[in-house]
């Protein structure tokens, strides 16, 4: 008997296959009397949020607002919390399934210069990782290519959809550059050892990049080019400001150098990713308005003598310095469901309050990725990509996501649909 | 009449024996010299305690014949007057590879298939790194170029041996003379040598430090068996040699301070006291090193300064590196100060020529000259049991001595001659004219000039020429009786004037020279009439200069325990503490107590209650608004280890993680900051039967032995699945059995079947009475089967790395069929599928909260696993297996609340009481109850909240982490760093060589990490 029970339970909660996407929104939905975390720092303790055809129409204080609820599906979320969908930038969810099984990994192309490679087309909506992140409130990810110096372009994906076309929120939002730094880590797979060495090829690599960017800029100045160069073609958006340049750099000098390089080459929007030593250049980043996407806070200090909690304190340090900060679980696809807890950790270690930390996984990220017009906050006109949690979503004791809503429509489509996935979460073992 | 005749014959006989007895034919005419040399009027340092002035040393046929102030010189003696000079015994280098073949690693590519067996053909030991049969005297080939380098430094003899392998064979004591090898060997079979390094061997075993220890230990047990019985079964030249070498002084090369302790422990097991070659960092753990009772061989390798001119780059230099740079020169002095007998060696020096500069630095930093001399003469002679031949200048000893200008240790000392076996090797000409003073130089056709010669010694001089008021730098060479001077007179006479001449009388030189225009002129040079004392003035200035510089530069910073930046300046001490008014998570029947007090005394929890009185002297800690819990226990950890996997064979039950506990790992401190107080340090998962665990408490600052939990039950790591079958190790690794889960089962069946037979063999033997035992042969001691037999006897307990249900089921069946228990399945990500079977077997589960997807066998992992196993009655803990995650195991425990709705108290037990149970430590830790160890954490908030962090972490009543002291600690670090950085900048400005700083890749171990080659 016992055994049967366990299997049934396991099937219910751990069923590995990605469920079918949500159905379109049939009528307006009102979530009543919940605590609404707007995502911009604001909290409405007893609020109402209404959305129709996948778009938020009303966000108001339920104790004062007078609303006509006729024809709406009214759901009471009293005592519960409503959040904008959390956004996990710099992610390989959908591109990587089982780390050790090569056949399931599509995140890294061969070659050094691959601006024309697109993560979008490899994104697997049937990844079994996706339900796990959704269940903790992570509703958007940035599918990011890795490897080489210029890895390719990323796209912003909703964690719901039949295929990448209807899952995509913003296609090709930016290009990814791994900055040739002062030091290079050489990993030896045969003995699992890592050696950090001075990067002897740094200057050479930067010179090559400079040439490429100069060529790309010149190329971009003409609308039609013949012969057509796919690589340079793919870089046009950097100079028009349509695309971000995401630069991976951690060492403080590298951060400075990379940001200066991008500006000098005419790149309109540069974002530093990783930024593990951003505290040393916080003034520069704030003054130059260079935003950062931090690598996972759940990492070790980089140096043996560093304060043991420095990685945890990094968001707070940057916040206080006026840097626009986003948190990520960079590259660690299967840990992405822990993104809200990164924000929680940041609160425990110096970010001024929970709403500020929430911004780092919602509105700040949306702003950096260029999707703030659609997602990142719970405001009228924005997508109804949101979730309801039984309690504080940043703390694992209370992060219990009961309902998830997506505005599920491909940007190219004129039909606006919306979906509702009611997440079956087991709140106690006795259920 | 008979007696005198007999005496006469004897005398003749002696004389005859004193002739060289050569067995070598000579092409040409024999040229054997009388070999009678006397050195008179010298200051003779006979040994470090005895110095004679105005004394004579008489050498006869390569040996010292007599030494003293009244030595009668036989007729036909070559006499050298050494007035003003000194004679010292020649130095001995006790750790050399002089004349040995180069050691090259056999295996250069890790891509090649593993070499499972020895490549050394012949009747030798199974492991190629054990080669006690190597005999340095057979390998020795004199190399005059290398000998000359050492001779110039004052060395007369060296102990040399092949530095290759764990058991390296026997060393030979040779002189550095230029002669046939036959004449150079002073003592063959002088020493036996051991190390932790497998050297050239390409065999997979050992692949880790603890593997090295195990191979050596087994070899010693095998040698014992061979002596008793094995020699009738097989011929084994290695074991024979190991036994033969037992009577020799045994030297062990340790790679660091912890290696010294490790080596000594092996010696203790086999009744050997090793002489231990250190790496120069033993000052960092000098008390523990002294306690070994070992004599040491100490190198003088000091690190270069770092180039810290760029402040950001400089942060890549760790505090430990900064401090070691400053303190390394104090090492020899610290060893001497601790009263540890030691010899010095040139080993480990990047350049041998650094020896004297570094030795003088060591003296400047606290090593006495007498100890230095002992460490290079009498001590090595004694350690080599060759004090009858070398080390002092007493009659009868080998005539190995050096002639110096003055005190050997003075910076301006000059070694003139190095005599080895009664033959001279000229290092510097000793009768060089002393030109120092003021001279008047007259060159025909030029106005007289003043030549000023200054310098610390006749050999190291500087020249200054004054023509009226013009200063000219001349080049002067003095060679025996002749002199040559070159200078450029100046604008009036462009070009170089060259003067050559010879000594005339005591105070003059004369000769001819050539002006720039080719004209020949005569010249002369005389000591100036008024003899100033440039010497005295110069040396006074110099001395005061040195003294001032010395006073500031030899001041050094304090030690840290352990020797890393975040180490303690003082070792923390236990306190009596009363924590008042806290929310106390007892993990006992009482559950969570609000506003409760906990009293800590003598390292234990003394009382739990309310309104407790603070004993006098107690520290009272206000716990208002805070939570007090027992310390977190990590069931699965790989921190504080020097290596993790001896993954070479399918079973390595013989290896012990306790051999590689690294007390200096900063992760100990980082985890204290996360509330961890105890950890099981597990072997990795590279093989089905791994090594024995080390149970530690995270007592930051203590040495490895003090970290180990006394009387803890012994545990061992087993592993199943992909790592064991090397599924993700690349195509080269398709050789070792097993390669499938089918094979894994058979590894267990095979090993436990053999272990049973082995245990039976011993049981039978042990039952014999003493008389029967005398006639019987004890079985061969097998340290691997010993451990497996312990498992069968329920005296050692298994923690088994496991993922999928098939393999878990398999091991449960194997265990049941062979009659042993699996104490804990660790990882156990599919435990939810077989939890009922686990519960029935009595196995616990130690799992991750939510890890998955990194490899195929974790694909079916679900975060509800802990809750589901718990529901079935399995004792469940949440572990880390990860140095980073262990810093927030409280959060991982909280995930069981999220996934599966575990009540908070039970969730908390999953990182405290439950792992204590799984490790059989719940009688002393895991809950807050009077009598248990005071391993406590004071949290600023609910311990399961994401916002919580430890404010104090206490182990055995000692505060090892204190958040409130962190700022002060950082400030002190910054100050000390700044001081050292300034000192390094000064060193660079002063011309010291520097290294560019680079970040270090921390080695953090997970189960599947393989080690670098040792």
CA A39 to chain centre: 14
What residues of chain B lie within 8 A of the CB of A397, using their CB? 894, 897-898, 904, 944-946
Q: What is the pLDDT, as a whole number, of residue A290?
A: 98
Q: Which fold has domain A2-84+379-422?
A: Urease, subunit C; domain 1 (2.30.40)
Q: Does A301 touch chain B (CB under 8 A)?
A: yes
- pLDDT category at B537 given cuts 50, 70, 90 is very low
pLDDT band per the 50, 70, 90 thresholds, residue A411: very low
Residue B231 has pLDDT above 80, yes or no: yes
Tell me which chain B residues have a C-beta less than 8 angstroms from the C-beta of A300: 670, 883-884, 1002, 1004
For A341, the closest of B566, B883, B946 (CB atoms) is B946
- The mean pLDDT of A155-163, rounded to a whole number, is 94
Distance CA B525, CA B532 (A): 17
Predicted local distance difference test score (pLDDT) of residue A24: 82
- Residue B814, pLDDT > 90, answer yes
Query: How many C-beta neighbours within 10 Å does residue B139 have?
Result: 16
The torsion defined by the Cα of B70, B72, B77 and B81, in degrees rounded to 10, comes to 20
Q: What is the mean pLDDT of residues A357-375?
A: 98
Band of residue A351 on the pLDDT scale cut at 50, 70, 90: very high
Distance from CA of B85 to the nearest CA of A (A): 51
The reply to whether residue B1012 touches residue A6, judged by beta carbons under 8 angstroms, is no
CB contact under 8 A, A10 and B319: no
Half-sphere exposure at residue A9, Cβ-oriented, CA atoms within 13 angstroms: 26
Q: Tell me how close the Cα of B969 comes to any Cα of chain A, in angstroms.
A: 10
- What count of residues does chain A have? 431
Half-sphere exposure of B433 (CA within 13 A, CB side): 19
Asked if B828 contacts B858 with a C-beta cutoff of 8 angstroms, the reply is no
Residue A300 gets the label, from left (phi > 0), alpha (psi -120 to 50) or beta, of beta
pLDDT given for residue A346 in this prediction: 97
Which residues on B lie below 8 Å from A137 (Cβ)? none
Residues paired with residue B619 on neighbouring β-strands, in sequence order: B577
Residue B209 is given by DSSP the state H
* Nearest Cβ partner for A100 among B856, B966, B1001: B856
Closest CA to B674 of B882, B897, B902, B914: B882
Give me the mean pLDDT over the B686-691 stretch. 96
Q: Tokens 């089982």 label which residue?
A: A98
SS (H, E, C) chain A: CHHHHHHHHHHHHHCCCCCCCCEECCCCEEEEEEEEECCCCCEEEEEEEEEECCEEEEEEECCCCCCCCCCCEEEECCCCEEEECEEEEEECECCECCCCCHHHECCECCCCECCCCECHHHCCCCCCHHHHHHCCCEEEEEECCECCCEEEEEEEEECCCCCHHHHEEEEEEEEEEECCCCEEEEEECCCCEEEEEECCCHHHHHHHHHHHHHHHHHHHCCCCCCCCCHHHHCCHHHHHCCCEEEEEECCHHHHHHHHHHHHHCCCCEEEEEECCCHHHHHHHHHHCCCCEEECCCCCCCCCCCCCCCHHHHHHHHHHHHCCCEEECCCCCHHHHHHHHHHHHHHHHCCCCCHHHHHHCCCHHHHHHHCCCCCCCCCCCCCECCEEEECCCCCCCCCCCEEEEEECCCCCCCCCCCCEEEECCCCCCCCC
pLDDT of residue B412: 85
Q: Which fold, A86-369?
A: TIM Barrel (3.20.20)
pLDDT at A130: 95
**Rg, chain B, Cα only:** 36
In this predicted structure, the answer to whether residue B536 has a pLDDT above a threshold of 60 is no
Residue A3 has pLDDT above 90, yes or no: no
CA distance to partner chain B, nearest, from residue A191 (Å): 5
B464 φ/ψ angles, rounded to the nearest 5 degrees: -140, 125
Which site among A254, A348, A358, A394 would you substitute to test the B interface, given the most B Cβ atoms closer than 10 Å to its Cβ?
A348
- pLDDT at residue B298 is higher than 80: yes
pLDDT of residue A22: 79
Q: Is the peptide bond before B562 cis (omega within 30 degrees of 0)?
A: yes
The secondary structure of residue B548, as a DSSP letter, is: H
Q: What mean pLDDT do residues B783-804 have?
A: 98
Which residues in B230-260 are b (16+ Cβ under 10 Å) and which e? beeeeebebbbbbbbbbebbbbbbbbbbbbb
Å between B454 CA and nearest CA of chain A: 46
> What is the arithmetic mean of pLDDT over B942-965?
98
Res A314: pLDDT: 98
Contact A300 B855 (CB under 8 A): no
Partner B, chain A 162-191, Cβ-Cβ below 8 Å: 182-183, 185, 188-191
pLDDT at A430: 26
**A60-99 pLDDT, tens digit each:** 999 998 988 999 999 999 999 999 999 999 999 999 999 9
> pLDDT (tens digit, 9 = 90+) per residue, A26-64?
899 999 999 999 999 999 999 999 999 899 999 999 999
pLDDT at B999: 81
Q: Where are the domains of chain A?
A: 2-84+379-422, 86-369
Is B183 in contact with B147 (CB distance < 8 Å)?
A: no
Q: What is the pLDDT of residues B749-781, one digit of tens each?
A: 999 999 999 999 999 999 999 999 999 999 999
C-beta separation of B274 from B252 below 8 A = yes
The partner residue sitting opposite A191, judged by closest CB among B110, B902, B996, is: B110
Whether B948 sits inside 8 A of A9 (CB atoms) is no
In degrees to the nearest 10, what's the CA dihedral of B248, B253, B257, B261? -40
Measured between CA atoms, how close is B732 to chain A, in angstroms?
A: 10
Tell me the mean pLDDT in the region B729-742. Answer: 91
CA B618-B621-B624 angle, to 5 degrees, is 150
**pLDDT of A424 higher than 50:** no
Give the residue carrying structure tokens 């003779």. Answer: B44
Query: Chain B contact for A197, CB < 8 A?
Result: yes
Give pLDDT, residue B471: 87
Range picked from B309-323, B359-373, B424-438 for highest mean pLDDT: B359-373
Min Cα separation B196/chain A (Å): 19
Q: Give me the CATH topology for the region B437-536.
A: Lipocalin (2.40.128)
Q: What's this model's pTM, rounded to 2 decimal places? A: 0.91
Give the number of beta-carbon pairs within 8 Å between A and B: 175
Instruction: Give percent of chain B with pLDDT exceeding 90.
Output: 79
Q: For residue B76, count other CB atoms closer than 10 A to its CB.
A: 7
pLDDT for B419: 98
User: Rounded mean pLDDT of A130-154?
Assistant: 96
Q: Chain-wide mean pLDDT for chain B?
A: 92
Lowest average pLDDT, out of A394-398, B273-277, B302-306, B494-498, goes to B494-498
User: What is the per-residue pLDDT for A426?
Assistant: 28
A258-286 mean pLDDT: 97
CA gyration radius, chain A: 22
Residue B1003 reports pLDDT greater than 70: no
The answer to whether residue A307 neighbours chain B at the CB level (below 8 Å) is yes
CB A10 within 8 Å of CB B864: yes
- Rounded to the nearest integer, the mean pLDDT of chain A is 89
Does residue B429 surpass a pLDDT of 70? yes
Residue B841 has pLDDT above 90, yes or no: yes
Confidence grade of residue B493 (pLDDT, cut at 50, 70, 90): confident
- The residue among B895, B946, B969, B996 with the most chain A CBs within 10 A of its CB, best to mutate, is B946
Span B461-482, pLDDT tens digits: 889 888 878 888 898 888 767 8
At residue B479, the pLDDT reads: 75
**Residue contact A195–B1001, C-beta within 8 A:** yes
B680: tokens are: 């099981």
B199: left (phi over 0), alpha (psi -120 to 50) or beta: left
**Residue B836 confidence (pLDDT) above 70:** yes
**Average pLDDT in the B860-872 region?**
96
Q: Do A396 and B946 touch (CB under 8 A)?
A: yes
Q: What is the mean pLDDT of residues B553-572?
A: 92
Structure confidence by residue, pLDDT tens digits, B160-176: 999 999 999 999 999 99
Torsion sign across C-alpha atoms B415, B420, B424, B426: negative
B13 has pLDDT over 50? no
At B543 the pLDDT is: 35
CB-nearest partner of B1001 from A97, A185, A395: A185
A107 Cβ under 8 Å from any chain B Cβ: no
**Inter-axis angle of helices B257-269 and B209-225, nearest 10:** 20
pLDDT above 50 (res A415): no
Given a contact cutoff of 8 angstroms between Cβ atoms, the answer to whether B747 and B736 are in contact is: no
pLDDT of residue B18: 47
Tell me the C-alpha distance between A130 and A138, whole Å.
9
Residue B548: the pLDDT is: 39
Please, which pLDDT band fits residue B501 given cuts at 50, 70 and 90? confident
A21 falls in which pLDDT band (50, 70, 90)? Answer: confident
Taking contacts as CB-CB distances below 8 angstroms, the residues of chain A near B999 are 183, 196, 302-303
Whether the per-residue pLDDT at A10 is higher than 70: the answer is: no
Q: What is the pLDDT of residue A193?
A: 62
What integer pLDDT is reported at residue B454 of this predicted model? 86
Mean pLDDT, range A140-146, rounded to an integer: 97
For residue B402, give how far its alpha carbon lies from the nearest alpha carbon of chain A (Å). 45
Q: How confident is the model at residue B26 (pLDDT cuts 50, 70, 90)?
A: confident
pLDDT tier at A17 (50, 70, 90 boundaries)?
A: low
Strand partners for B172? B160
With a cut of 60, say whether residue B11 has pLDDT above it. no
pLDDT at residue B109 greater than cutoff 80: no
CB count in 10 Å sphere of residue B116: 13
Q: Tell me the C-alpha distance between B159 and A79, whole Å.
A: 81
Inter-chain contact A395–B316, Cβ cutoff 8 Å?
no
Domain residue spans of chain B = 437-536
- pLDDT band per the 50, 70, 90 thresholds, residue B1009: low
Instruction: Find the farthest-apart pair of alpha carbons in chain A and give their distance in angstroms, rounded.
Output: 73
Confidence at residue B546, expressed as pLDDT on a 0 to 100 scale: 37
pLDDT score for B817: 96
């Amino acid at each position: 008997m016992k055994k049967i029970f366990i299997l049934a339970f396991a099937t219910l909660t751990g069923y590995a296959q990605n469920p079918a996407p949500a159905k379109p929104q049939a009528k307006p939905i009102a979530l009543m009397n919940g605590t609404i975390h707007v995502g911009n720092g604001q909290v409405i303790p007893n609020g109402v949020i209404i959305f129709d055809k996948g778009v938020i129409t009303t966000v108001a204080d339920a104790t004062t607002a007078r609303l006509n609820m006729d024809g709406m599906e009214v759901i009471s979320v009293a005592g519960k919390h409503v959040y904008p969908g959390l956004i996990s930038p710099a992610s390989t969810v959908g591109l990587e399934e089982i780390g050790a099984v090569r056949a399931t990994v599509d995140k890294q192309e061969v070659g050094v210069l691959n601006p024309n490679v697109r993560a979008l087309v490899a994104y697997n909506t049937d990844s079994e990782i996706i339900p796990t992140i959704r269940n903790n409130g992570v509703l958007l990810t940035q599918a990011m290519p890795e490897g080489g110096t210029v890895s390719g372009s990323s796209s912003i994906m909703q964690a719901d959809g039949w295929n990448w076309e209807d899952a995509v929120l913003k296609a090709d939002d930016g290009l990814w550059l791994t900055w040739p730094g002062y030091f290079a880590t050489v990993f030896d797979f045969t003995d699992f050892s890592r050696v950090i060495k001075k990067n002897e090829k740094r200057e050479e690599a930067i010179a090559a990049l400079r040439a490429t960017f100069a060529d790309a800029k010149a190329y971009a100045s003409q609308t039609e080019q013949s012969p057509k160069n796919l690589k340079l073609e793919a870089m046009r958006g950097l100079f028009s400001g349509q695309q971000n340049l995401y630069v991976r750099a951690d060492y403080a000098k590298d951060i400075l150098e990379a940001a200066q390089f991008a500006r000098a080459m005419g790149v309109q929007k540069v974002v530093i990713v990783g930024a593990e030593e951003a505290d040393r250049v916080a003034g520069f980043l704030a003054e130059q308005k260079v935003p950062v996407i931090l690598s996972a806070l759940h990492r070790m200090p980089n140096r043996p003598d560093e304060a043991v909690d420095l990685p945890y304190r990094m968001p707070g340090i940057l916040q206080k310095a006026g840097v626009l900060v986003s948190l990520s679980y960079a590259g660690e696809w299967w840990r992405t469901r822990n993104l809200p807890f990164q924000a929680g950790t940041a609160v425990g270690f110096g970010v001024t309050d929970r709403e500020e930390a929430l911004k780092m996984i919602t509105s700040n990220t949306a702003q950096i990725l260029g999707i703030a017009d659609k997602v990142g906050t719970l405001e009228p006109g924005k997508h109804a990509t949101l979730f309801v949690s039984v309690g504080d979503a940043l703390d694992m004791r209370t992060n219990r996501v009961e309902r998830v809503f997506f505005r599920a429509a491909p940007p190219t489509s004129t039909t606006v649909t919306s979906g509702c996935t009611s997440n079956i979460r087991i709140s106690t073992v006795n259920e | 009449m008979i007696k005198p005749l007999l005496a006469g014959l004897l005398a003749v006989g002696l004389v005859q024996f004193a002739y060289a007895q050569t067995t070598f034919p000579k092409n040409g005419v024999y040229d054997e010299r009388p070999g009678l040399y006397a050195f008179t009027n010298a200051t003779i340092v006979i040994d470090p305690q005895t110095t004679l002035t105005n004394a004579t040393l008489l050498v006869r046929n390569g040996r010292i014949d007599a030494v003293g102030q009244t030595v009668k010189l036989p007729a036909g003696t070559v006499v050298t007057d050494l007035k003003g000079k000194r004679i010292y015994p020649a130095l001995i280098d006790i750790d050399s590879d002089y004349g040995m073949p180069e050691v090259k690693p056999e295996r250069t590519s890790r891509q090649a298939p593993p070499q499972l067996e020895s490549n050394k053909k012949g009747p030798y030991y199974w492991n190629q790194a054990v080669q006690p049969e190597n005999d340095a005297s057979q390998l020795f080939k004199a190399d005059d170029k290398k000998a000359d380098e050492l001779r110039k430094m004052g060395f007369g003899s060296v102990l040399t041996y092949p530095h290759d392998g764990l058991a390296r064979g026997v060393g030979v004591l040779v002189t550095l003379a230029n002669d046939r090898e036959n004449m150079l060997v002073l003592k063959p079979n002088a020493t036996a040598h051991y190390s932790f390094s497998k050297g050239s061997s390409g065999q997979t075993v050992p692949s880790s430090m603890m593997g090295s220890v195990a191979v050596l230990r087994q070899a010693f047990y095998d040698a014992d068996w061979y002596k008793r019985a094995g020699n009738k079964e097989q011929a084994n030249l290695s074991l024979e040699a190991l036994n033969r070498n037992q009577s020799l002084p045994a030297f062990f090369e340790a790679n660091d301070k912890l290696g010294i302790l490790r080596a000594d422990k092996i010696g203790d097991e086999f009744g050997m006291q090793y002489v231990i070659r250190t790496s120069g960092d033993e000052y960092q753990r000098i008390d523990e090193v002294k306690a070994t009772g070992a004599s040491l061989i100490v190198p003088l390798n000091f690190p270069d300064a770092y180039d810290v001119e760029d402040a950001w780059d400089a942060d890549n230099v760790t505090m430990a590196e900064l401090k070691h740079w400053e303190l390394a020169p104090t090492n020899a002095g610290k060893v001497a100060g601790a009263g540890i007998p030691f010899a010095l060696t040139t080993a480990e020096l990047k350049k041998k020529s650094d020896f004297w500069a570094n030795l003088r630095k060591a003296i400047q930093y606290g090593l006495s000259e007498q100890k230095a001399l002992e460490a290079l003469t009498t001590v090595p002679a004694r350690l080599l049991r060759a004090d009858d031949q070398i080390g002092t200048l007493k009659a009868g000893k080998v005539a190995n001595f050096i002639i110096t200008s003055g005190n050997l240790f003075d910076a301006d000392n000059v070694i003139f001659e190095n005599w080895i076996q009664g033959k001279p090797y000229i290092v510097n000409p000793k009768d060089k004219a002393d030109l120092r003073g003021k001279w008047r130089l007259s060159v025909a056709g030029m106005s007289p000039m003043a030549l000023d010669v200054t310098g610390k010694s006749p050999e190291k001089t500087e020249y200054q020429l004054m023509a009226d008021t013009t200063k000219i730098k001349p080049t002067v060479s003095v060679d025996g009786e002749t002199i040559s001077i070159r200078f450029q007179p100046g604008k009036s006479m462009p070009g170089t004037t060259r003067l050559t001449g010879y000594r005339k009388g005591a105070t003059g030189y004369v000769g001819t020279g050539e002006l720039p225009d080719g004209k020949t002129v005569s010249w002369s040079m005389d000591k100036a009439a008024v003899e100033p004392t440039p010497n005295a003035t110069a040396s006074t200035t110099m001395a005061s200069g040195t003294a001032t510089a010395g006073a500031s530069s030899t001041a050094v910073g304090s030690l840290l325990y352990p020797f890393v930046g975040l180490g303690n300046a003082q070792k923390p001490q236990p306190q009596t503490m009363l924590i008042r008014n806290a929310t106390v998570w007892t993990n006992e029947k009482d559950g969570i107590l609000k506003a409760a007090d906990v009293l800590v005394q003598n390292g234990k929890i003394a009382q739990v209650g309310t309104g407790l009185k603070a004993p006098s002297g107690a520290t009272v800690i206000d716990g208002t608004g805070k939570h007090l819990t027992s310390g977190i226990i990590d069931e699965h950890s790989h921190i504080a280890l020097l290596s993790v996997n001896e993954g070479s064979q399918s079973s390595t039950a013989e290896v012990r993680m306790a051999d590689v506990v690294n007390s200096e790992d900063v992760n100990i401190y980082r985890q204290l900051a996360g509330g961890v107080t105890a950890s099981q340090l597990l072997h990795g998962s590279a093989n089905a039967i791994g090594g024995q665990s080390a149970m530690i408490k995270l007592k930051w600052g203590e040495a490895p032995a003090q970290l180990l939990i006394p009387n803890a039950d012994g545990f061992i790591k087993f592993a199943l699945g992909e790592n064991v079958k090397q599924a993700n190790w690349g195509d080269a690794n398709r050789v070792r059995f097993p390669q499938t889960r089918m094979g894994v089962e058979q590894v267990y069946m095979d090993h436990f079947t053999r272990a049973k037979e082995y245990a039976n063999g011993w049981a039978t033997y042990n039952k014999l009475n003493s008389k029967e035992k005398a006639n019987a042969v004890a079985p061969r001691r097998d340290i691997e089967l010993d451990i497996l037999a312990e498992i069968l006897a329920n005296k050692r307990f298994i923690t088994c790395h496991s993922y999928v249900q098939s393999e878990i089921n398999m091991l449960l069946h194997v265990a049941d069929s062979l009659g042993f228990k699996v104490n804990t399945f660790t990882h156990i990500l599919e435990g939810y599928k077989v939890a009922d079977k686990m519960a029935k077997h009595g196995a616990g589960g130690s799992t991750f909260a939510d890890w998955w997807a990194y490899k195929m066998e974790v694909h079916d992992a679900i975060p509800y696993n802990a809750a589901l196993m718990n529901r079935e009655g399995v004792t469940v803990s949440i572990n880390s297996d990860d140095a980073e995650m262990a810093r927030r195991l409280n959060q991982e425990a909280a995930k069981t609340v999220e996934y599966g709705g575990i009540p908070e108290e039970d969730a908390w037990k999953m990182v405290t009481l439950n792992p204590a149970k799984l490790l059989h430590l719940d009688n002393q830790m895991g809950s807050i109850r009077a009598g248990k160890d005071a391993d406590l954490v004071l949290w600023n908030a609910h311990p399961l909240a994401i916002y919580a962090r430890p404010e104090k972490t206490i182990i055995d009543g000692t505060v090892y982490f204190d958040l409130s002291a962190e700022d002060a600690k950082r400030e002190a670090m910054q100050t000390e760093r700044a001081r050292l950085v300034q000192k390094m900048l000064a060193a660079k400005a002063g011309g010291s060589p520097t290294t560019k700083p680079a970040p270090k890749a921390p080695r953090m171990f997970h189960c599947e990490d393989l080690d670098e080659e040792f």
